[in-house]
Amino acid sequence: MTPIRVQIFGSGYPITTEIDAEHTRKVAQYVDRKMREIAHRMSLRSVAQIAVLTAVNLADELFKEMEKGQKMHQIAVEKADLLGNSLNRIAVE
């Protein structure tokens, strides 16, 4: 595999992955954008602090999306149960 070179917050990184190169570039661009937002909003100078706060923010986004997915799954299960109960009632009648 050939590494894909990406730019994040002014530094270049070679990333070796089995995932599509374009996807990897989009992810790197997203991380870069988030780091720049944090740096601008917080007026921080330390790249390490910016990176840590960005990681915390990205983890928060991930957890929120996971919670949404779990809620949607629960709603789907409840709706499927209701539909199954309705079909059972119709079959009995």
Per-residue pLDDT tens digits for 9-51 = 999 999 999 999 999 999 999 999 999 999 999 887 899 999 9
SS3 state of residue 34? helix
Percent of the chain predicted with pLDDT > 90: 82
88: pLDDT strictly greater than 90: no
Global confidence as pTM = 0.78
The residues, any chain, with a CB within 8 Å of residue 71's CB and separated by 6 or more, are none
What is the C-alpha to C-alpha distance for residues 44 and 9, in angstroms, rounded to an integer? 13
Percent of the chain predicted with pLDDT > 70: 100
pLDDT (mean) for 44-66? 95
